[in-house]
Amino acid sequence: MSDRPVTLIAPAIGALIAGTLKRLRRPSDGPLYPIAPGDRLWIREQFYLPRTFDHVAPTRAAELSATPIFAHDRDLPEWASGGLGPRRFARSLPKIWHRHHLIVTAVVTERLQAITDAEIEAEGHASREQFAAAWDAGLTLSGGPNRRWAANPHVMVIDFQHVAGPLPLEERSYA
């Protein structure tokens, strides 16, 4: 059993919280490979910190007892964030702050474009085209042309049980 981070951004984080997201798709040669039933994924999501932490790394802010405000809870345009600093990337969320985790129940491999319209809707997307655009946009750090929607790559389809709460305290760290 392993504990690993996985990033969810809008609209997927909203679909997870609403209970409609039941499966994740990730590149079959990506950082989650290999993954198996029983593995746990802790969710990284976008967040804000108070402006006083603008020039402080999130891990240091956690050590200083900062409290994150999750972007999903306060979906604000950048100009209207009040006393909050800029929206932070999900990948920079320290594990100590995560508030959701997933327990993997099954993993299969299939072609990306095998996703059904019902699954696309469950992920919070209005159309196949919107899902394809979001998939390609999510590859900016780890992708290449062979992972794009048009290439129809093999992906891991990960079924999970959502646990709306952090991992047990003894298993949490600032990393």
Q: Where in the chain is the domain with CATH 2.30.130.30?
A: 1-45+98-166
Which region among 5-9, 39-43, 169-173 has the lowest average model confidence (pLDDT)? Answer: 169-173
Strand 3-7, strand 40-44: pairing? parallel
Instruction: Give residues with Cβ within 8 angstroms of 55, minimum separation 6.
Output: none
Task: Identify the pLDDT of residue 175.
Answer: 45
Q: Name residue 88's amino acid.
A: R
Instruction: Say which CATH class 1-45+98-166 falls into.
Output: mainly beta
Q: Name residue 109's amino acid.
A: T
Percent of the chain with pLDDT over 90: 72
pLDDT tens column, 46-103 = 999 999 999 999 999 999 999 999 999 886 666 566 788 999 999 999 999 999 999 9
Asked if 104 and 39 touch (Cβ cutoff 8 Å), the reply is yes
